[in-house]
Amino acid sequence: MYLKRIINNVLGETEMKMNLPYSNELDIQHFSRLFDNMSECYKLFWFQAIVDAVIAGKEKVSYDELINQMVADAWYMVSEYKLNLGPKDTLEDLVHYSYKLSGLKSSEKRDKVLVFLQNSQNKELIQKKRVLTLNVPYRLQAPFMPDFKGTAWDGGFADIAARINQHQRLLYYFNMISGLQSEIRFDKDWLDYIQSNQEIIKGWIQYNMILYLQRRNPSVPGIANKIYPPDERNLERVKKYWKLIVTLRPTHDIYANIELTTNDISIDHFVPWSYVAHDELWNLCPTTRNINSSKSNSLPDWRMYFHRLGEIEYEAYEMVQQYDIVQKEFDKCVKEHVNNQDVLSKLYRPELSKPVFIGYLKEIIEPLYTAASNMGFEFWRLS
């Protein structure tokens, strides 16, 4: 519930101050500044990995384990959603390299990503992991060490770690420094604090993650829905709507020109869900399960398929006007799948000619299609 309130505030662009739970023993004021002046994403992912380790009951953890967690956390948003983590971002580069090297899916399950990262002996992958350990393990806790400035950061990592270990009441301390096998141990009081307040702390991280990604991806819709892999989406109302249309009029898939049947109908996002992050009716069209699987999260060739999309959408629009039973199913879809009043009043108002309807549909979809193309979504034609 707390996480949902956070997302709703960010989506609504409501000014929101995150108040972390108070503690008599711990320095919450400096803790709340962990993400101040953040120009890169490393602190967010490093600390999120730490919180996950604490919640899992661990008292110490290696750099390698934390880096693997960071890659797994960023995997879906980089590989599937094509989000930008920052200019020349090292974590983003590591995700891309791991994706190409592993042969895993862009939507791969987290556990499989972790297994690959734990077992890979690829030298370049290991080197890219090491680069991520050069600063963030030491600098994350800078707010707790206001005297640690300038030349205090000079020297070898073992020396820096030893001097950091002299400070009191830090989140964690360094057990040893040895490349990716370096190890940190958590302060007992901070460990208890994080475990006791884990929902709020995870919400705080997510809130800061959304704000960071919105700055890095200003033209991308639905950032708050792209922090984690999506929940199962419910398109049953839309499927029922198209199944009804198929029973009343021969309807052909836009990709293979196959006549659709109620026994094999699947709902496709013309511009992939992984870009738009919504289930708006005007971006949904019926196809077969096999074709939908083949298309996956690619962009259908615009010149070949957009006019066909306009044709099938207009056929459905006509049937809404002609059949009360279709009108009823359309009205049910509108409640869940048309969330923009301007679109509803412009695209779905009565007595539009086909050219006007398709023209309006193009105005809505083409900017999204172009933006998704610019983000790196691949083009697709049915072979």
102 assigned to some structural domain: yes
Residue 196 shares a structural domain with residue 260: no
pLDDT above 70: residue 10: no
CB 284 within 8 A of CB 339: no
Residue 231 is assigned to a structural domain of this protein: no
Number of Cβ within 10 Å of residue 117's Cβ equals 22
Q: What is the pLDDT of residue 87?
A: 82
Does 266 share its domain with 161? no
What is residue 15's predicted lDDT score, i.e. its pLDDT?
A: 40
- Degrees to nearest 5, angle at CA 84 with 79 and 87: 130
137 plus 206 within the same structural domain: yes
Q: Collapsing DSSP states into helix, strand and coil, what is residue 86?
A: coil
First to last CA, the chain: 45
Q: Of 165, 197, 226, at which residue does a domain stop?
A: 226
Q: Write out pLDDT tens, residues 79-102.
A: 999 999 988 889 999 999 999 999
Q: Is position 304 within any domain?
A: yes
pLDDT in tens, 42-55: 999 999 999 999 99
pLDDT at 2 over 70: no
Within-domain flag for 188: yes
DSSP 31-63: HTTTTTT--SSHHHHHHHHHHHHHHTT-SEEEH
Same domain, 80 and 213: yes
Q: State mean pLDDT over 55-66.
A: 97
Number of structural domains the chain divides into? 2
The DSSP letter of residue 380 is E
pLDDT at residue 7 tops 60: no
**Is residue 171 in some structural domain?**
yes
- The residue among 183, 143, 141 whose CA lies nearest residue 164 is 141
Residue 364 shares a structural domain with residue 298: yes
With a cut of 90, say whether residue 174 has pLDDT above it: yes
Residue 282 has pLDDT above 50, yes or no: yes
DSSP string, 341-379: HHHHHHHSSSS--HHHHHHHHHHHHHHHHHHHHHHTPPE
What SS3 state is found at 99?
helix
Beta-bridge partner residues of 379: 299
Query: CA-CA distance, 26 to 186, in Å (whole number)?
Result: 14
Residue 223: Cβ-neighbour burial (10 angstroms; 0-12, 13-18, 19+): buried
Q: Which of 207, 226, 245 is the last residue of a domain?
A: 226
DSSP for residue 139 = H
Q: Is the pLDDT of residue 1 over 60?
A: no
Length of the chain counted residue by residue: 383
Same domain flag for 352 and 372: yes
Q: Which two tokens stand for residue 186?
A: 């958590």
Report, as an integer, the average pLDDT of 362-383: 94
Domain containing 149 equals 2-226
- Does residue 69 share a domain with residue 152? yes
On whether both 204 and 251 belong to a single domain, the answer is no
- Which of these ranges, 142-151, 247-256, 265-274, has the smallest mean pLDDT? 142-151
Residue 171 has pLDDT above 50, yes or no: yes
Residue that terminates a domain, selected from 187, 203, 226: 226
Q: What is the pLDDT of residue 88?
A: 83
pLDDT of residue 18: 64
CA distance 291 to 287: 7
Residues 25 and 119 in one domain: yes
Pair 314, 365: CB distance under 8 Å: no
The residue whose two tokens read 């790196």 is 376
Residue 152 and residue 212 in one domain: yes
Do both 194 and 248 map to the same domain? no
Mean pLDDT of the chain: 92
How many angstroms separate the CA atoms of 348 and 346, rounded? Answer: 6
pLDDT value of residue 19: 82
- The verdict on residue 158 lying in a domain is yes
Q: Which residue is it, tokens 């020349």?
A: 88
- Within a domain: 362: yes
**Better pLDDT: 28 or 18:** 28
**What's the whole-number mean pLDDT along residues 107-135?**
95
Model confidence band, residue 14 (pLDDT cutoffs 50, 70, 90)? very low
Would 261 be classed as within a structural domain? yes
Residues 45 and 182 in one domain: yes
Q: Residue 350: which of 321, 314, 313 has the closest Cα?
A: 321
